[in-house]
Structure 1
Amino acid sequence: MALLDLDGEVVGRARALAARAAEPVITLARAHTTVAVERATLRLAGITGADTTHRAGDVPWVNRVVDTIREHCGLEHGAVLPAFHALREHDLGSLTELAEATAAGQVRFTVPTGKQAERAGRAARTAVAKGLRTVDRNRAQRDKLVARLGDPARRPWIYLIVATGDIDEDVVQACNAARAGADVIAVIRSTGQSLLDYVPEGATHHGFAGTYATQENFRIMRAALDEVSKEVGRYVRLTNYASGLCMPEIAVLAGLERLDMMLNDSMYGILFRDINPIRTFVDQRFSRQVHARAGIIINTGEDNYLTTADAVEAAHTVTVSQLLNERFAHEAGLPDELLGLGHAFEINPDLADSFRMELAHALLARELFPDAPLKWMPPTKHMTGDVFKGYLLDGFFNLVGALTGQGILLVGMMTEAVVTPFLSDRDLALANVRYVLNAAGNLHEDFRPAPDGFIVKRAHQVLGEAVDLLERICRDGLLTAIAEGTFGLMKRPPDAGKGADGVVEKADGYVNPASELLEAGQ
């Protein structure tokens, strides 16, 4: 039921402006590829493993192949034509064998033409289609498990982070969290992994403030959560991070190992990791196509804006980003039910009416995106180390989540952003959530803000400011708005940032069967 009486014409204008603002960036993304997109495509085609003999450390075979193709003949036509042409030319049985021969200096890659190009294209399409069939089977398996084990009996889903650095220890924490009531387990990544232009191989035990995202770590955690799901009688979902320089590859690995949610924001890497804007927009489009195919819920990162900008003054930038994320997601094939748009409880609690403003902002998001499983993020910026005040603040955060019908509630902890929380902190945080959700029950059914009251007026104000900002972005361009520090006060010009050298403009005749099959839904 609508509580804010939003003007339908204003809402429609906001969405139309967001589509206009996003269109030049979508056109740009369609016209380019990146080294990460090409590596993700070859991963779908079956390449696995790493060169363990390299003096600088393990180098994934997919990096070895794509880097060599680029050196020999460029990536303007994509990686699959040179790779599958070389596979046939050298009579090799697999892409991994091709990678080994490449490392030994035995392969010279060329872009085939004519009949040779047709043969290479057919072989690549067959291999990629096989990878996508694995993704499809995993999606069907998830549906079967949810039907058999059931979903949580109530919303919002309780989302808890584990972050030890050691995948085996993460498994212990994750399973105990599920037993204590967590519905979604997020394995936070090792510090700095988003800036690695490769995906590590194998199980890892040495992360920093998090655990490396690898295919084997995904497999280990998914298997563990499948077991604990049977024990607790509900399907426990697994989350990781499809962001950074390897965004498309990690999305593919998530699909191949049946992850359920992925952090995947259109601008987070640009703003908070200084990754080149064009690289990010190209990579996010491909990664979202993969997520759509895999049935993976994405979580966007608008909450981060409010840790660097003022949560009252910048509230409208969150709404603008949500509208842009919605447009980018829809264009990539993600439906509303997979669109976990982010927002956060980050207003200074010492401000008068801070709780009423948080309610207004949360209700605005809920009513603008009624079919999206919104991800509601806890306070971090104003956690001071006073654990009693922090615990109370988290209780207020949980109450807003219950009152406004959020879909995914990330568990806040009283030591958040101060120290790495202990297991006891997580247990207390889960108890806080359980108490509030149980005590509030269906309180949202009874909550009706006054039609001309503070909450409604504040929501209308933020929406109006969002429309004004979208009009400016349409006039000046989204890349210009990002360069000027519009979001999170971070200024990121389009020709700078990490990974810019990995962006390639597509040539006529570019071939990528993954993009073709994903867009065609085949």
Structure 2
Amino acid sequence: MSTGPGAPLLQLDPRAVARARQLAARAGRPIVELAQAHTTASVERATLRLAGLSGADHERVPWVNHLVDAVRDGVGLEQGVCAPAFDAIRRGEATDLLDLAQRASSRSVQLRQPSGRDRSAALTLARRSIGTGIKRIDRNRATRDRLVARLGDPPSRPWIYLIVATGDIYEDMPQAQAAARGGADVVAVIRSTGQSLLDYVPEGATREGYAGTYATQENFRLMRAALDDVSKEVGRYVRLTNYASGLCMPEIATLAGLERLDMMLNDSMYGILFRDINPVRTFVDQRFSRQIHARAGIIINTGEDNYLTTADAVEAAHTVTVSQLLNEYFAKEAGLADWQLGLGHAFEINPDVPQSFRLEVAHALLARTLFPDAPLKWMPPTKHMTGDIFRGYLLDGFFNLVGGLTGQGILLVGMMTEAVVTPWLSDRDLALQNVRYALDAGRGLVEDFHPPVDGFIQQRSRQVLAEAIELLDRIVDDTLLEAIADGTFGLMRRPADAGKGLDGVVRKDDGYANPAVELLEPDLAEPALLEGAG
């Protein structure tokens, strides 16, 4: 999304901007190489899901978990799950992946690491199966394009983004439709508390989530269908968001592609910092996830706003910029385009700080100037919401005004009852009224707002960029993993050799083979393979 003519852009030194990006690339490249050298249990499970394996046993343990665990215990995952699994099918150990997983769950199947012609034949069969899943993702992307062309997009930016999550998918659907009728352009179904720490994806429609609804393939399907219905009613395509994070990040990204979700929260460091998930596990998983999102045409939302809930929003402003630059590098390396980069930032400065509003405008304009073609995701105040709903409603109005004034792309609706109760439908309706008033009353103001070259906003933005460059310089010298371990982001210390999910990280052997990776990285794929998956 371009800011368009007349949008207020800061007068930043182009050499400083270029240096910031160069440093981000230098800091990020070793992480990409680390990700390329490893796989994880979840990447292998996601691969099987692309190949069509779904469902769970009577105890709700997914069949993909059973099969990956059996391969890991039997022959190891160093060469991937595909060759041993599809070799077993070729040898008649099972009729298909589901039969194989069921037999593997009772340890009644013989797995081996095939070689020579047997290995080539097994991988050919795997490519064919995985290619079917990739084709489904491609069809869903084409369907979205057709629906947007027929129904239309919202008439202007920012898109209004509203959270709906009761814990019960059957309650979420009518609430999401009501939100769309009230003006929401994007509906996010937040996940049940703690799902990011589950090393499996729950199965089926769920009605028991706590402070959110479980992310499952069936829940994705149900909500997408509900929003398709209301999209026809309101005359615009209403987008659906969920969360590709946590220990099952690659699997949830895959399910999002298979069920035509439109946006996914997918930050490169959120799970490390705020869920204590192992850094290597997270970086491996997020690269595969972003390759899926790139193929599916999904917009990612990053999580820089979370840093400002634990660190001071003025003192740590430069860490948000650094994270945005790193997220941009990792995303583009994985194949995402500018229009898919919903880089995050937030209105989280303490309102009691003198000139807090000017500081918020400066920080928001810095992000817009650095990433002019990205649909930036602007997050509302949460840290300094006190329970005074009138003060909160006013703060949300300021937030909405800044969002329109600085040309943000995605505006998450703030709630005056934040930190008090789970919002009622009436709370959401009032919040949507606030958004609509601020955006409608201030529409076009962006054309008139041009901060003086040497004024407060311009100088503050240059200061934050300079501090970001200084920090990136240190990260390049010390490595990003060390910076994360030292508490650079969000004041959280997360060493690379600790954290949840470390036991699911596997260094690849030279013989590692995964047709999903080949299909998602065009430079690795054979021309015939790419043609077959298209």
Query: What TM-score range do you get, normalising by the shorter chain?
Result: over 0.9
Report what 1:47 is aligned to: 53
- Separation of aligned partners in 2, 1:111 and 1:45: 19
- Separation of aligned partners in 1, 2:190 and 2:93: 42
Give, in angstroms, the shift of residue 228 of structure 1: 0.2
Given that 2:203 and 2:217 are in contact with CA atoms closer than 8 Å, whether structure 1 keeps it comes out as yes
1:437 matched to 2:442: no
- State the secondary structure of the residue aligned to 1:185: strand
1:13 matched to 2:30: no
Report what 2:293 is aligned to: 291
Using the size of structure 2 for normalisation, the TM-score is: 0.96
Picking from 456, 459, 477, the partner of 1:457 is 459
Give, in angstroms, the shift of residue 35 of structure 1: 0.1
Give, in angstroms, the shift of residue 58 of structure 1: 1.2
Report what 2:192 is aligned to: 190
Letter in 2 for 1:288: R
Give, in angstroms, the shift of residue 416 of structure 1: 1.2
- Separation of aligned partners in 1, 2:344 and 2:391: 24
- Separation of aligned partners in 2, 1:417 and 1:260: 28
Give, in angstroms, the shift of residue 147 of structure 1: 0.1
- State the secondary structure of the residue aligned to 2:314: coil
Given that 2:305 and 2:344 are in contact with CA atoms closer than 8 Å, whether structure 1 keeps it comes out as yes
- State the secondary structure of the residue aligned to 2:350: coil
Given that 2:84 and 2:111 are in contact with CA atoms closer than 8 Å, whether structure 1 keeps it comes out as yes
Report what 1:104 is aligned to: 106
Given that 2:8 and 2:406 are in contact with CA atoms closer than 8 Å, whether structure 1 keeps it comes out as no
- Separation of aligned partners in 2, 1:322 and 1:393: 25
Summarize deviations over 1:196-248 as a string: whole Å, max 9, x none. 00000000000000000000000000000000000000000000000000000
Picking from 361, 365, 368, the partner of 2:367 is 365
- Separation of aligned partners in 1, 2:363 and 2:433: 26
Give, in angstroms, the shift of residue 91 of structure 1: 5.3
Report what 1:165 is aligned to: 167
Letter in 2 for 1:102: A
Greater mean alpha carbon deviation, residues 406-415 or residues 2-11: 2-11
Report what 1:77 is aligned to: 79
- State the secondary structure of the residue aligned to 2:295: helix
Report what 2:220 is aligned to: 218
- Separation of aligned partners in 2, 1:295 and 1:178: 22
Give, in angstroms, the shift of residue 419 of structure 1: 1.9
- State the secondary structure of the residue aligned to 1:508: coil
Letter in 2 for 1:324: L
- Separation of aligned partners in 2, 1:214 and 1:199: 6
Greater mean alpha carbon deviation, residues 83-92 or residues 169-178: 83-92
Greater mean alpha carbon deviation, residues 179-188 or residues 436-445: 436-445
Give, in angstroms, the shift of residue 417 of structure 1: 2.5
1:203 matched to 2:205: yes
Letter in 1 for 2:135: R
- State the secondary structure of the residue aligned to 1:367: helix
- State the secondary structure of the residue aligned to 1:209: coil
Give, in angstroms, the shift of residue 105 of structure 1: 2.4
Letter in 2 for 1:42: L
- Separation of aligned partners in 2, 1:417 and 1:299: 22
Summarize deviations over 1:452-480 as a string: whole Å, max 9, x none. 11000000000000000000000000000
Given that 2:344 and 2:379 are in contact with CA atoms closer than 8 Å, whether structure 1 keeps it comes out as yes
Summarize deviations over 1:61-111 as a string: whole Å, max 9, x none. 000000010000000000000100011112533211111111232212111
Give, in angstroms, the shift of residue 163 of structure 1: 1.2
Letter in 1 for 2:49: R
Q: How does 1:118-197 map to 2 (within 5 A)?
A: 118-197=120-199
Letter in 1 for 2:473: E
- Separation of aligned partners in 1, 2:296 and 2:241: 13
Summarize deviations over 1:335-358 as a string: whole Å, max 9, x none. 110000000000000111000000
1:64 matched to 2:70: no
- Separation of aligned partners in 2, 1:219 and 1:74: 34
Letter in 2 for 1:38: E
Summarize deviations over 1:307-345 as a string: whole Å, max 9, x none. 000000000000000000000001000011000000000
Query: Any runs of at least 4 consecutive aligned residues in structure 1 with deviations exceeding 3 A, and if so which?
Result: none
- State the secondary structure of the residue aligned to 2:466: helix
Letter in 1 for 2:251: E
- Separation of aligned partners in 2, 1:243 and 1:16: 27
Letter in 2 for 1:5: Q
Q: How does 1:308-347 map to 2 (within 5 A)?
A: 308-347=310-349
Summarize deviations over 1:258-300 as a string: whole Å, max 9, x none. 0000000000000000000000000000000000000000000
1:395 matched to 2:401: no
- Separation of aligned partners in 2, 1:212 and 1:109: 33
Given that 2:93 and 2:110 are in contact with CA atoms closer than 8 Å, whether structure 1 keeps it comes out as no
Letter in 2 for 1:264: N
- State the secondary structure of the residue aligned to 2:130: helix
- State the secondary structure of the residue aligned to 1:160: strand
Summarize deviations over 1:47-70 as a string: whole Å, max 9, x none. 011011xxxx31100000000100
RMSD: 0.8
- Separation of aligned partners in 2, 1:265 and 1:36: 17
- Separation of aligned partners in 1, 2:313 and 2:107: 55
- Separation of aligned partners in 2, 1:480 and 1:415: 39
Report what 1:33 is aligned to: 39
Report what 1:267 is aligned to: 269
- Separation of aligned partners in 2, 1:220 and 1:33: 31
1:4 matched to 2:4: no
Letter in 2 for 1:61: W
Report what 1:349 is aligned to: 351
Given that 2:165 and 2:189 are in contact with CA atoms closer than 8 Å, whether structure 1 keeps it comes out as yes
Summarize deviations over 1:119-154 as a string: whole Å, max 9, x none. 001000111111000000000000000000000001
Letter in 2 for 1:431: Q
- Separation of aligned partners in 1, 2:463 and 2:521: 38
Letter in 2 for 1:27: E
Letter in 2 for 1:37: V
Stretches of structure 1 lacking an aligned partner (at least 5 in a row):
none
- Separation of aligned partners in 1, 2:359 and 2:8: 18
Give, in angstroms, the shift of residue 364 of structure 1: 0.3
- State the secondary structure of the residue aligned to 1:413: coil
Give, in angstroms, the shift of residue 33 of structure 1: 0.1
Using the size of structure 1 for normalisation, the TM-score is: 0.98
Letter in 1 for 2:168: D
